[in-house]
Amino acid sequence: MNAPKVTLPQHSDNLTKLLATAGLTNQQQKYLRDFINRYSDRTKKSKQISQNSRPFLADDKNLGDFNLLFKEMYYPIVAHCSLGSKIWDVDGNEYVDVIMGLGINLFGHNPSFIKEALIAQLDKGIQIGPQSEVVGEVAELVAQLTGMERVCFSNTGTEAVMSAIRIARAVTGRNKIVIFSGSYHGHFDGTLIKANKVENNHSAIPLTPGVLPNFVNDVLVLEYGNPESLEIIKTHQQDLAAVLVVPVQTSRPGLQPKEFLHQLRELTQATEIALIFDEMVTGFRIHPGGAQAYFGLQADIATYGKIVGGGMPIGLIAGKSKYMDAIDGGVWNYGDDSYPQTKKTFFAGTFCKHPLAMIAAKAVLKYLQSEGSSLHQKLNERTTKFVAALNNYLTIEGLPLQMANFGSLFGSASLEISEENSAASLAMDLLKYHLLAQGVHLLGVSGYLSTAHTDEDINYILQAVKDSVEQLKSGGFLPSCASV
Ligand SMILES: Cc1ncc(COP(=O)(O)O)c(C=O)c1O
């Protein structure tokens, strides 16, 4: 059945009414009305697609909180195609992309070495059930690059984290885990939790409706980078199966607590608590060996995904044999009296080791191996320079935003926006829309550079920021030359 086509409503009257009740000045109302109309016109096919699919498609992805004021721009840009650092939307607009597949596309969009590997596999077919030809090779490559002993494959990062926690609990025989506030570990119920600030006893409460309190009773939420957290871990050591850590959080790339991580490693080693590094974003990004190599330590288990799948869905659980043997009972040989002796936990998934994911991962890992750490060095340096240039400009303008980076991940270091300062918050939301309107594809104020981004791309982004700020000044959303 063909979906009935819905036409976009004429919104100018509603918009005018809405703007008039939003406490904006006349100058701001006029500017915002013009901007919203321009933005909607520039991306009208994206908007139309959203409108047409909304009755059938339940999708809240990547849009941020709904703000009635920006309702007419609340839709995702629909991509038509991509290459290198660029994407093109269905309206024919070109963007320098800094979302980069939410951190997947370290080599830019559609790099030929991955595309060719995928096409070759498609020619051979997609065999799920029998083993993929390259799965052992991929595991070995991961072990070589990360220093981990054994590797197992899932389809997403969420599954990888969920399985890593299960393994840690199975092997240690303990129930509780520690996570740190500010860390995102995917959408497994067991990590969709936040600190219980009311009771202030490091216990956790569900982050969202539908997550049962029983699911989070065995989780402590501690402050990341705070030495007091180490003391709390010591107090609970007998009960702790694992400490789960995102070494550098996407939301706070400036927080890189090397000493804390080393102390955490020592403590968890001494108390036989599994240290799990969630390297979904940092893995294969900051260094070929991920954050562990960068900070000079080794976790017991690490979870990976994103980059390593080369655009295909993937999750990796890698770790010491002591833990990973819980997947298959441990290593054994033919022709002798060995057999799988370790007690197992349950692990499965129809799509695990999908031939397309495996072949893409092989291409990515081989490429990383052949390029060596200079690929990361150059890209990390380039991102650091980009962020320095951006910060320089933001400081000169007196804007309440400073950026930080961890390798090719960049994001807000200090967004000095309090709830009372709603003008600044509004300006920051508008900045995002202005950058999109200038052809910079981004979600919030964070993003990723890839090896495909050129100096020209970086200058383009910097200029777009400057132009957007000037426009926001002209609309009365930023003061002409004073702090917000
Ligand atoms: C640190 C971290 N862990 C886990 C996940 C979940 O991965 P996925 O979205 O592949 O399930 C993410 C996703 O962004 C992540 O950043």
The residue whose two tokens read 């007690």 is: 343
Residue 186 Cα to ligand 1 midpoint, Å, equals 5
CA of 103, closest atom in ligand 1 = 14
For residues 250 and 339, membership in a common domain is answered with yes
Q: Is residue 217 part of a domain?
A: yes
The residue whose two tokens read 């002796």 is: 341
Asked if residue 161 has its Cβ within 6 Å of ligand 1, the reply is: yes
For residues 36 and 168, membership in a common domain is answered with no
Best mutation site among 102, 280, 354, 448 for ligand 1 pocket (most ligand atoms within 8 Å of CB) = 280
Model pLDDT for residues 287-309, shown as the tens digit of each residue: 999 999 999 999 999 999 999 99
Neighbours of 92 (CB within 10 A): 9
Of 58-72, 206-220, 381-395, 399-413, the poorest mean pLDDT is in 58-72
CA of 246, closest atom in ligand 1 = 1
- Its domain, for residue 193, covers 112-371
Angle, CA of 260, 193 and 213, to the nearest 5°: 130
DSSP for 320-379, please give it.
-HHHHHHHHS----TTSS----SPP-----TTTT-HHHHHHHHHHHHHHHHHTTHHHHHH
Is the pLDDT confidence value at 113 over 90? Answer: yes
The pLDDT assigned to 428 comes to 85
b/e map 25-39, b = 16+ CB within 10 Å: eeebbebbbebbeeb
**H-helix or E-strand containing 26?**
helix 26-42
Residue 103 Cα to ligand 1 midpoint, Å, equals 10
Q: Pick from 371, 401, 419: which residue ends a domain?
A: 371
Neighbours of 212 (CB within 10 A): 9
| Chain Cα centroid distance, residue 60 | 16
Confidence label for 14 from pLDDT (cuts 50, 70 and 90): confident
Q: Is residue 480 part of a domain?
A: no
For residues 350 and 381, membership in a common domain is answered with no
For residues 182 and 331, membership in a common domain is answered with yes
Question: Tell me, what CATH number does 47's domain have?
Answer: 3.90.1150.10
For residues 414 and 354, membership in a common domain is answered with no
Model pLDDT for residues 310-369, shown as the tens digit of each residue: 999 999 999 999 999 999 999 999 999 999 999 999 999 999 999 999 999 999 999 999
Q: Please state, in angstroms and rounded to a whole number, the distance separating the CA atoms of residues 470 and 463.
A: 11
**H-helix or E-strand containing 262?**
helix 258-270
Residue 45 phi, psi (nearest 5): -70, -40
CA proximity to 285, closest of 115, 185, 160, 406: 406
Question: Tell me, what CATH number does 192's domain have?
Answer: 3.40.640.10
Asked if residue 245 has its Cβ within 6 Å of ligand 1, the reply is: no
**Two tokens, residue 192:** 């969709």
Asked if residue 185 has its Cβ within 6 Å of ligand 1, the reply is: yes
Neighbours of 116 (CB within 10 A): 11
Q: Is residue 454 part of a domain?
A: yes
The domain tally of the chain equals 2
